[in-house]
C-alpha cells in the first residue's frame, strides 16, 4: 500500500487532467448532446438544417467574420511596423517600450471600452451612426497586444547576418524586406492572426458596449440561451468550434516554430 502511494513525476499531471476532463471534455460532450437533440431530448439534425438554411443565422456568421477579418487586418497593419521598429531599434530598454503596448492589457477591458466610447463620442459626435467602424476600432483596441507580441518575438530572433548577406548579394532594402524579413516572420503573423481572428468573432460585449445592435455569433448564442433554447445555442457553439478547428489546422501548417506556439498559448 505504501508503495502505491509513492509520488512520481507523472502524477504531477493529475491536476491538469482533472481540469481537462471537468472543464474541456465534459462541456464538449454537453454541447454535442444539446446540438443534436431537440427540446424533448430526441436525436435530430433539425438544429443543423435550420442553421444552414436560415439566411439570418448565415448572415450573422458572415457579419461576425467580417468584423473579425477587418479587425485582424487593421491589427496587422498597425502591429507589424510597431513590432518591426521595436525589435530592430537600438534602444537599450526596448522592454519599456513593449511594456507600453502591453500595459493596457492589465486594465479590465470593459473599463477600457467605456473610456474609448467617450473618446469616440467626442470624435464622431453620434457614435451610433457608425456601428461597424466602432466595433472594429473597439476590437482592435482590445486585441492589438495579442498581435504585437508574437510579431515582436519572431522579428527579435531574426538573424542579422541573413539580412547582411542579402544586402551583400545586392538586394536593396525593400527586396531584403520582401525576400528575407517578411517570409521569416510569417510564423509570427500566423500566430498573431489566430489570436486575434478567433476571439474577435465572438466577443459581443464590445459590440454591445459600442452600440452595434447587429448580432454576431456570440450574441446569437446568448440570445438562444436566454430563451432557454440550449439546443440551438449549442449548435452555434459547435459550428464556431469547427471553424476554430479548421483555422487552427490551416495555420499550424505555417507555424512550425515551437517558440511561436508557446507565445500563442500565452
Partner 1 sequence: MKRFKNIVLVAAACLVGASALAFTGCADAEDVVTLRVCSWEEYIDLGRWDEEEAIELESGTIFGENAVYDDFTEWFNNGDHGFKVKVEYSTFGTNEDLYNRLSLGDEYDLVCPSDYMIMKLLAEDKIEEYSEEFLSFGGEENYYANNVSPYIDSVFTQYEWKNYAACYMWGTTGIVYNPDKIADEADVATWNILLNENYKKQVTIKDNVRDAYFATLGIINSETLTSSELSSVQLSSLLNDTDSETIAQAEDVLKRIKENVYSFETDAGKADMVTGKVIANYQWSGDAITIMDEAETDETNGTELWYSVPDECANLWFDGWVMLKNGIDGNAQRKEAAEAFVNFLSRPDNAVRNMYYIGYTSAIAGDTVFEYLDWNYGAEDDVETIDYDLRYFFGDDEKYIISADRSCFEIEDGDGQVINRGRQLFAQYPPENVKNRSVVMLDFGDKLAEINQMWINVRCLDLLDISPVTVGIICGVVALVAVAAVLYAFRYKLFIKHKPKKGYKKIEE
User: What distances in angstroms separate CA 9 from CA 2, 6, 15, 101, one per listed residue?
Assistant: 17, 10, 12, 38
Residue 124 touches partner 1, criterion: CB under 8 A: no
Residue identified by cell 468550434 is 241
Smallest separation (angstroms) from partner 1 to the CB of 158: 16
Nearer to partner 1, 194 or 219 (CB): 219
Cα separation, 217 vs 237, in Å, equals: 8
**Which residues between 172 and 191 bind partner 1 (CB under 8 A)?**
178-179, 183, 186
Cα separation, 123 vs 173, in Å, equals: 38
Cα separation, 45 vs 37, in Å, equals: 8
Cα separation, 142 vs 123, in Å, equals: 19
**Strand, coil or helix: what is 43?**
strand
Tell me which stretch binds partner 1 (CB under 8 A): 2-10, 87-95, 104-112, 145-153.
Answer: 2-10
Exactly one of 121, 172, 248, 252 binds partner 1 (CB under 8 A); that residue is 121
Exactly one of 78, 97, 105, 209 binds partner 1 (CB under 8 A); that residue is 209
Size of residue set near partner 1 by CB under 8 A: 42
User: What distances in angstroms separate CA 75 from CA 20, 68, 78, 138, one per listed residue?
Assistant: 32, 10, 5, 11
Tell me which stretch binds partner 1 (CB under 8 A): 3-11, 74-82, 153-161, 194-202.
Answer: 3-11
Nearer to partner 1, 34 or 101 (CB): 34
Residue 227 touches partner 1, criterion: CB under 8 A: yes
Query: Within a 13 Å sphere around the CA of 79, how many CA atoms are in the beta-carbon half?
Result: 32
21-60 footprint of partner 1 as x/- string (CB under 8 A):
----------------------------------xxxxxx
Cα separation, 81 vs 182, in Å, equals: 11
Residues of the shown chain interacting with partner 1 in the complex, contacts defined by CB under 8 A: 1, 4-8, 10-11, 14, 55-60, 62-63, 66, 121, 126, 128-129, 178-179, 183, 186, 208-209, 211, 213-215, 219-220, 223-229, 254
Amino acid at each position: 500500500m505504501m508503495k502505491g502511494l509513492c509520488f512520481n513525476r507523472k502524477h504531477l499531471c493529475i491536476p491538469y487532467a482533472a481540469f481537462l476532463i471537468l472543464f474541456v471534455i465534459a462541456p464538449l460532450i454537453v454541447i454535442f448532446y444539446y446540438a443534436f437533440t431537440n427540446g424533448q431530448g430526441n436525436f435530430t439534425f433539425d438544429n443543423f438544417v435550420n442553421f444552414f438554411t436560415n439566411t439570418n443565422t448565415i448572415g450573422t456568421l458572415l457579419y461576425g467574420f467580417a468584423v473579425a477579418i477587418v479587425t485582424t487586418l487593421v491589427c496587422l497593419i498597425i502591429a507589424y511596423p510597431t513590432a518591426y521598429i521595436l525589435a530592430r531599434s537600438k534602444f537599450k530598454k526596448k522592454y519599456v517600450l513593449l511594456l507600453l503596448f502591453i500595459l493596457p492589457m492589465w486594465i479590465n477591458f470593459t473599463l477600457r471600452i467605456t473610456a474609448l466610447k467617450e473618446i469616440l463620442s467626442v470624435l464622431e459626435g453620434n457614435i451610433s451612426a457608425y456601428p461597424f467602424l466602432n466595433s472594429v476600432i473597439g476590437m482592435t483596441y482590445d486585441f492589438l497586444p495579442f498581435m504585437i507580441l508574437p510579431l515582436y518575438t519572431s522579428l527579435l530572433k531574426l538573424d542579422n547576418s541573413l539580412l547582411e548577406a542579402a544586402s551583400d548579394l545586392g538586394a536593396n532594402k525593400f527586396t531584403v524586406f520582401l525576400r528575407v524579413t517578411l517570409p521569416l516572420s510569417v510564423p509570427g503573423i500566423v500566430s498573431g492572426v489566430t489570436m486575434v481572428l478567433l476571439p474577435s468573432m465572438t466577443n459581443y460585449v464590445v459590440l454591445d458596449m459600442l452600440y452595434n445592435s447587429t448580432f454576431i455569433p456570440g450574441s446569437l448564442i446568448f440570445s438562444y440561451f436566454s430563451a432557454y433554447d440550449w439546443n440551438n445555442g449549442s449548435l452555434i457553439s459547435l459550428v464556431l468550434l469547427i471553424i476554430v478547428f479548421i483555422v487552427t489546422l490551416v495555420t499550424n501548417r505555417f507555424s512550425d516554430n515551437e517558440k511561436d506556439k508557446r507565445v500563442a498559448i500565452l
